[in-house]
């Protein structure tokens, strides 16, 4: 596959530096390493012929020489053409986007038919270019560090995941987007009960044959027991996974049946709760709600179609009595992929983040993991690591620098409000004053201006 690579150095480097300074340095100083990964390991966008490989016929890096001149030699050694893009405005705006667009159009009309255009940039201004390439039947591959817009992602044939690039191309080990606490190893998790060890259909103890004898003996009755912390982590992960894989609300009885098959020891009596509903509520799963429809349903309101009244009328719902707030927040989260935490849950996360930063040095992956652990241990809220990372990275991308003595809860909340408003604006969501105030109330609560 004949490919052309366009690297918006300023955009990628600055975004990487906010996430991992070491990864940003490797990107800038060792481009030959990630080029090798790009050509040898990254899958090709579909469709492509069997056995086809990527050939980078064009390598262009667009770089601000006033700021990043020191990295020029590394890209020259890796076979790149360097296109200097100095600032053209007093605010530091460069002409990178113009140069890249003109070069893409030039190659589109080149006698050599380039099959794939690879763009390293999160600048949504390139969305029309990606669409034009698609109309001309060219494949597009995009690396976008940070929060690329939904339209930008949808316009690419292949989106290089940030965590994949950090971990495999840059060799940075565990990336901030990895979610080990959401995906347990299975240690301490009970295995599914073998068939001969399950109750019979009539509820009587099952029978199994004794070795060397045709006589069947009753199996010792299994005693219900409380779940271990490891088992609760595994069960929470199974529930989250089931919800992620479903495009509709999940029937509680169906989910309970699946859990009984996989965790029989602790689901006989639902870890002492008697039934599935109180057990589910005891898990403290963020974002997921129980709806009292016939048989009960579990929903992720940011993804599933559910009547707001069914959510806010639930006595135990964290959205109880907040229908107008729920409607606005659901639309915002559906559009921006922000975690749909209830106001009380958001305040818990922000308070614990501020408390952690007052005692611990900031590191994106470690800080996010500690916040998740403390939310569960101190407030009974089971927060997904990827959601914690989304919130913390959002503050970073909006300009907040952690560890500078300005990590109070109020400051963090207002910074997050600004980031959410920016994401809404980028996705062209029209917000009136009432909606803007609702978003501030959702996140900043008493800190809202």
- Written as tens digits, the pLDDT of the chain (449 aa) is 899 999 998 888 888 887 778 888 888 888 888 999 889 888 888 877 777 888 999 999 998 888 888 888 888 988 999 888 877 665 567 778 888 888 899 998 899 999 999 999 877 778 888 999 999 999 999 988 877 778 888 888 988 888 888 888 888 654 444 433 454 443 333 333 333 333 333 333 343 444 444 554 554 555 667 888 888 999 999 998 888 888 888 888 888 988 988 888 888 888 888 889 989 999 999 889 888 877 788 989 888 888 888 888 777 788 888 888 999 999 999 888 899 999 999 999 999 999 999 999 998 889 999 999 999 999 999 999 989 999 998 998 888 999 888 999 999 999 999 999 998 888 888 888 999 999 999 998 745 43
Task: Report yes or no: 66 and 85 within 8 Å, Cβ to Cβ.
Answer: no
CA distance 278 to 29: 54
User: Which run of H or E residues covers position 324?
Assistant: helix 323-336
Residue 4 in tokens: 């052309």
Write out the two tokens for 217. 């003996």
**Sign of the CA dihedral with 306 first, then 248, 234, and 20 last:** negative
Reported CATH class of domain 322-449: mainly alpha
Q: Which residues pair with 140 in a beta bridge?
A: 117
Residue 172: the pLDDT is 65
As a whole number of angstroms, the distance between CA 440 and CA 13 comes to 31
Please say whether the beta carbons of 241 and 262 come within 8 A.
no
Spatial CA neighbour of 116 closest among 49, 179, 17: 49
pLDDT at 89: 65
- Other residues' Cβ atoms within 10 Å of the Cβ of residue 355: 16
Q: Are 292 and 311 in contact (CB under 8 A)?
A: no
Non-local (6+) Cβ contacts of 38 within 8 A are 5, 54, 56, 118, 169
The full set of domain ranges for the chain reads: 2-169, 180-195+223-321, 322-449
Long-range contacts from 322-325, C-beta under 8 angstroms, 24+ separation: 324/438, 325/438, 325/441, 325/442
Residue range 2-169, CATH number:
3.40.50.1010
- Strands 207-209 and 216-218 come out as antiparallel
Whole-structure pTM value = 0.68
Topology alike, domains 2-169 and 322-449: no
What ranges make up the beta strands (E) of 196-249?
207-209, 216-218
φ, ψ of residue 436 in degrees (nearest 5): -60, -45
**pLDDT for the residue 90:** 57
Residue 178: in which H helix or E strand, if any?
none
Residue with tokens 């992602």: 153
Tokens found for residue 289: 């709600």
Written as six digits, the tokens of 360 are: 């611990």
pLDDT value for 191: 33
> Alpha-carbon distance 350 to 448, whole Å?
14
Residue 412 half-sphere exposure, CB side, CA atoms within 13 Å?
23
Are 427 and 176 within 8 A, CB to CB?
no
DSSP string computed for 405-424: S---HHHHHHHHHHHHHHHH
Nearest to 301 by CA among 338, 255, 344, 264: 338
Phi, psi (5° rounding) for residue 263? -130, 65
Angle at 367 between CA 395 and CA 442, to 5 degrees: 40
Residue by residue, DSSP assigns 279-314 as HHHHTTBTT-EEE-STT-EEE-TTTS---HHHHHT-
């Amino acid at each position: 596959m004949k490919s052309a690579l366009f690297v918006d150095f300023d955009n990628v480097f600055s975004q990487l530096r906010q996430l991992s300074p070491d990864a940003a340095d490797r990107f800038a100083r060792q481009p030959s390493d990630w080029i090798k990964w790009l050509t040898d390991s990254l899958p090709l966008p579909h469709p492509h012929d069997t056995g086809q490989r990527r050939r980078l016929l064009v390598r262009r890096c667009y770089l601000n020489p006033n700021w990043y001149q020191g990295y020029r030699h590394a890209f020259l050694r890796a076979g790149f053409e360097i296109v200097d893009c100095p600032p053209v405005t007093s605010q530091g705006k460069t002409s990178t986007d113009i140069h890249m667009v003109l070069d893409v159009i030039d190659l589109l009309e080149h006698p050599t038919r380039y099959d794939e255009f690879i763009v390293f940039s999160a600048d949504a201004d390139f969305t029309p270019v990606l669409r034009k390439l698609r109309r001309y039947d060219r494949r597009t591959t995009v690396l976008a560090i940070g929060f690329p817009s939904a339209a930008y992602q949808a316009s690419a044939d292949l989106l290089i995941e940030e965590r994949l690039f950090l971990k495999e191309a840059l060799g940075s080990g565990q990336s901030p987007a990895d979610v080990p606490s959401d995906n347990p190893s299975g240690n301490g998790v009970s295995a599914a009960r073998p068939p001969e060890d399950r109750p019979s259909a009539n509820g009587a103890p099952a029978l199994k044959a004794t070795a060397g004898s045709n006589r069947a003996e009753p199996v010792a009755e299994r005693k219900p027991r409380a779940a271990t912390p490891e088992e609760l982590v595994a069960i929470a992960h199974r529930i989250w996974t089931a919800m992620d894989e479903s495009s509709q609300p999940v029937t509680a009885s169906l989910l309970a049946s699946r859990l009984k098959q996989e965790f029989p020891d602790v689901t006989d009596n639902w870890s002492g709760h008697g039934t599935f509903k109180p057990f589910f509520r005891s898990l403290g799963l963020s974002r997921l709600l129980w709806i009292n429809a016939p048989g009960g349903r579990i929903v992720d309101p940011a993804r599933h179609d559910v009547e707001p009244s069914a959510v806010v009328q639930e006595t135990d719902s964290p959205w109880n009595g907040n229908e107008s707030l729920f409607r606005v927040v659901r639309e915002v989260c559906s559009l921006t992929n922000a975690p749909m935490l209830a106001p009380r849950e958001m305040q818990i996360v922000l308070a614990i983040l501020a408390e952690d930063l007052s005692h611990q040095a900031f590191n994106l992956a470690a800080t996010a993991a500690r916040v998740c652990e403390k939310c569960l241990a101190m407030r009974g809220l089971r927060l997904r690591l990827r959601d914690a990372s989304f919130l913390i990275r959002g503050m970073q991308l909006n300009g907040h620098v952690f560890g500078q003595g300005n990590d109070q809860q109020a400051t963090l909340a207002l910074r997050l409000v600004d980031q959410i408003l920016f994401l809404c604006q980028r996705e062209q969501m029209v917000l009136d004053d009432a909606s803007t105030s609702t978003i501030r109330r959702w996140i900043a609560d008493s800190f809202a201006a």
